[in-house]
Amino acid sequence: MTKPCFHSSLFPLFVRVPRWFAVGVLLLINTGYVHSAKAAESNVDLAQLPPPKRVVVPKLKGELKLDGKLEESVWPKAAVLKPFLPNNGGGQEREGTEVRLWYDDQALHLAWICTDRDIQATFTKRDSRFWEEEVVEFFVTAGGLERYFELQWNPLGGVFDAIIDNELGADGVSKKFTGNWDYTAQGMKSGVFVKGTVANSSDQDSFWQVEVSVPFADLSRTTPKPGEVWRANFYRFNRGKDHPAELLSWSPTQLPGFHQPSRFGYLEFGK
């Protein structure tokens, strides 16, 4: 079943709507935030934007206990992705975000380290609308930009996984997209470690961390060969009492929304 992705900031009460209405709304909304029709229709010259970021992902060996603590000796050897910046390309992040990344013959391994003075999350059910609270996200494709995987994790151990089909214009900017939420990454495993009290703004928290292993089989791929390049991006929704939401990216799209695959960064698999 293919479902459109909505953002509840425009729908205080989420209700079922006719298919014709949902398709129309897709032109305006994505899973992250408003997809501005005006911006999407403008003539965006991607060549004038800074190039997407690039990282070499090392091939390493190490046993993992997926508890979010990152105590294993392999993590300091991983590639480090930081800083994260506002997705519109302006300013700096309010709180630090870091991703560590490596792979072996079976899987891609990720760690998120999120400084957070006010950790906000209540959702735990798989494929909940985690982007309405605090969440980290990984979009990745080994093939064409029109179809990619969207994976998310929140401070309570919640998981979201979907396959996104994205219609791109001649300029490479997203026109509309749909998400297949029936997809499940069967072998993917993750663990979260939190230093603080989630969903309690009366005290000050410190951070939350996520540790993830994504088997290549879940991405419909075999082990990448050295030098192989995939497209991917990493995002964070950071919220806190009395603060506006931060929409952060490793490689800012500088276009409306996170779902801009032409602006994804490059993952080059190392030896």
How far apart CA 242 and CA 38 sit, in angstroms, is 30
Residue 27: per-residue pLDDT: 33
List of domains in the chain: 8-269 (2.60.40.1190)
Residue 25: per-residue pLDDT: 35
According to DSSP, residue 237 is labeled E
Residue 234: per-residue pLDDT: 98
Residue 232: per-residue pLDDT: 98
Residue 35: per-residue pLDDT: 33
For residue 214, give the nearest of 126, 103, 127, 109 by alpha carbon.
109
Residue 43: per-residue pLDDT: 59
Prediction pTM value: 0.86
Residue 44: per-residue pLDDT: 67
DSSP track, 136-201: EEEEEESS-TTEEEEEEE-TTS-EEEEEEEEEE-TTS-EEEEEEETT---TT-EEEEEEES-TT-T
8 Å CB contact between 3 and 22: no
Identify residue 136 by its one-letter amino acid code.
Answer: V
pLDDT in tens, the chain (271 residues): 444 444 322 222 223 333 333 333 333 334 443 333 333 444 567 888 999 999 999 999 999 999 999 999 999 999 999 999 999 988 899 999 999 999 999 999 999 999 999 999 999 999 999 999 999 999 999 999 999 999 999 999 999 999 999 999 999 999 999 999 999 999 999 999 999 999 999 999 999 999 999 999 999 999 999 999 999 999 999 998 888 999 999 999 999 999 999 999 999 999 9
8 Å CB contact between 254 and 263: yes
